[in-house]
Amino acid sequence: MSKFQSFRAFMAQAGRLALPYFQSDQKWKARGLLFAIIALNLAGVYMLVQINDWNRVFYDALQNKDQPVFWHQLGRFTYLAFAFIIIAVYRFYLTQLLQMHWRDWLTQHYMTRWLANKAFYQLELARFSKGDSAPPDNPDQRISEDANMFTAYTVSLSMGLLNAVVTLVSFVGILWGLSGDFGFSFNGQSYNIPGFMVSMAVLYCLVGSVITHYIGRPQIALNFKQQRKEADFRHHLIRVREYSESIALDKGEPVERQQLGGRFSDVLSNYLALIRAQKRLIWFTTGFGQAAVVFPFIVAAPRFFSGAIQLGQLMQVASAFGRVQDSLAWFVDNYSSLAEWRATTDRLTSFEASFKALQGQQAGKPEVGASDGGLQVADLSLALPNGQALLAAKDLKVLAGDSLLLKGPSGSGKSTLFRALAGIWPWSQSHITLPADFAERGMFLPQKPYFPNGALRHALAYPKAPEAYSDVELQQALRDALLPQLADQLDTADTWGQKLSGGEQQRLAIARAFLKKPRWLFVDEATSALDEKAEATLYDKMGELVKNSNGALVSIAHRPAVAAFHNKQWTLEPGAGAQQPFQVVAS
């Protein structure tokens, strides 16, 4: 792909990311703010043209020692400056408002897509896939940082480019008229270059832009890598905090210190390469900018000393040249920002592509039955993310009144079967018929439950709002789950996933079941951290719960004592060959 084709492809990607906001339900607000910002940019350029004309009159008055004109022009400058200040302030304010509203919409848009159809879960699963199609890492960074950077850079760079183009169009005519012609002789022939200052400005900035691109090009890849390495380092810090107890018990601090140190060294190593690349670019851009200060005076000096122009015209030429040069040098001045914008756009594009890739492998929605009140699975085939066959079954049924134990060796696919029944495992093929009330009255209890930080009542009622239950119901659920010591702590805020022991966390998850009273209850090693007495008590209560609801209890457990609370079993047995999937045998 040529550089031009690559640029076109990139701009198409940026357009696909930017356009949805301006076509959304907030389109009129977005378009109104954008129109206002454009109008203020045009007004700002108009004021610069007026100030450029003021330069000529003011400095001519100084040269001619014309005191009345001098004081009059000072008064004129006062209202020109006041108008320019108002325009600059509201241009900044409205630009920030547009960025804020756009970031709000884009962040909400990605959060919705990330949390819809279990995409957040399936993106994590897809990391175990083989090949180059793995999803982008750190989706939290894409949603929080990249969405912010993309909107900020897109607005600032696009408005900056618009301002540069309008300024160039406005001042190039002024500079053309003021610069005069440049005549010279070569090989006996006379040549005349009209608008010499314009030609010099274009040549000056063209050379500068080409050199800037070749010096600054490595920054695009370095910015991309910097964001990834920063996110990896931050992610590992979070993991140490989440697993602090396990690390402390294993005395794993030296290992974590080494791993964190290695990741931070990667951050610093890439950052050092980035600042070295920026240093090389700054060497050139700073020299380029400083030379631009005196360049118009050098070119226009012969006409001034010959008397062709006065001081006011010289200053106007310098001012107009500066505006034209600034406009043409927009690429030079914004190269670092363009490199960061390019890297951010690439990251969001890959994030967007990951959602589209999921559409081709979404787990099929189970067909909801309405008659027999049971769960049926036909022609089930489960695979691992790498495509390897894991589990197969021809015909499975769970009817009202069943209490079923799922047994099998570790790694045989017991939990994966639960995930398929829940509709969150994308690598499955089956025909699943669920009871009509399964969406409302089906519940899965994992071995490692999740609790949001905050008040205990929020952790207990999750994912529903705690207002859906009375304090009496919440407290009774805790007592039924053998957590009476927490019954008076409903409004205590804490990190319950870290404060509670493993057994207490499992009991709190079971308390949710007692609170919500599901009809179809799936328990995946949800009592593995409990003593046998507590496990037996809670299994008695869970069995009574589903019996009273005319439902079913399906459990995964390794302890032999749990079998006493079930009247049926599914056993996962190895296939005939090494590469054959496990088979589900009902008994």
Q: What is the 3-state secondary structure (H, E, C) of 303-323?
A: HHHCCCCCHHHHHHHHHHHHH
What does the pLDDT look like over 295-327, one tens digit per residue? 777 777 777 787 777 777 777 777 777 777 778
What pLDDT score was predicted for residue 174?
Answer: 75
Q: What is the mean pLDDT of the chain?
A: 84
- The CA distances from residue 552 to 36, 393, 398, 505, 517, in Å, are 62, 20, 7, 23, 12
Over 60: is that where the pLDDT of 220 sits? yes
What pLDDT score was predicted for residue 195?
Answer: 67
DSSP string across 172-209: HHHHHHHH--EEEEETTEEEEETTHHHHHHHHHHHHHH
What pLDDT score was predicted for residue 368?
Answer: 45
Q: Are strands 403-407 and 389-398 parallel, antiparallel or unpaired?
A: unpaired
Instruction: Please state, in angstroms and rounded to a whole number, the distance separating the CA atoms of residues 445 and 294.
Output: 74
Lowest-pLDDT choice from 207-216, 261-270, 471-480, 501-510:
207-216
What pLDDT score was predicted for residue 461?
Answer: 92
Instruction: Please state, in angstroms and rounded to a whole number, the distance separating the CA atoms of residues 339 and 345.
Output: 10
What does the pLDDT look like over 330-346, one tens digit per residue? 887 788 788 888 888 88
From 48, 283, 292, 13, select the one nearest 164 (Cα to Cα).
Answer: 48
What does the pLDDT look like over 352-363, one tens digit per residue? 888 877 765 554
What does the pLDDT look like over 46-102, one tens digit per residue? 898 888 888 888 888 888 888 888 899 888 889 899 999 999 999 999 999 999 999
Over 60: is that where the pLDDT of 132 sits? no
Tell me if 388 sits within 8 A of 404, measured CB to CB: no
Local confidence band at 364 (pLDDT 50, 70, 90 cut-offs): very low
If you average pLDDT over each of 74-78, 127-131, 361-365, 472-476, which comes out highest? 472-476
Lowest-pLDDT choice from 77-81, 129-133, 153-157:
129-133
Local confidence band at 378 (pLDDT 50, 70, 90 cut-offs): confident
What pLDDT score was predicted for residue 59?
Answer: 82
From 211, 99, 115, select the one nearest 155 (Cα to Cα).
Answer: 99
Over 60: is that where the pLDDT of 366 sits? no
What pLDDT score was predicted for residue 543?
Answer: 92
Place of tokens 């309405």: 370
Over 50: is that where the pLDDT of 570 sits? yes
What pLDDT score was predicted for residue 363?
Answer: 44
Over 50: is that where the pLDDT of 564 sits? yes
What does the pLDDT look like over 498-520, one tens digit per residue? 889 889 999 999 999 999 999 99
Respond yes or no on whether the N-terminal peptide bond of residue 463 is cis (omega within 30° of 0): yes
Instruction: Please state, in angstroms and rounded to a whole number, the distance separating the CA atoms of residues 5 and 311.
Output: 48
Neighbour-count burial of 363, counting CB atoms closer than 10 A to its CB (0-12 exposed, 13-18 middle, 19+ buried): buried
Structure tokens at 25: 């339900």
23 contact partners, CB below 8 Å, separation of at least 6? none
Q: pTM, whole model, 2 decimals?
A: 0.74
Instruction: Please state, in angstroms and rounded to a whole number, the distance separating the CA atoms of residues 176 and 156.
Output: 29
Structure tokens at 32: 């109104």
What does the pLDDT look like over 266-285, one tens digit per residue? 999 998 998 988 888 888 88
Instruction: Please state, in angstroms and rounded to a whole number, the distance separating the CA atoms of residues 416 and 387.
Output: 14
373 against 17, higher pLDDT? 17
Place of tokens 């790694």: 411
Give the pLDDT mean for 458-477.
93
Tell me if 363 sits within 8 A of 431, measured CB to CB: no
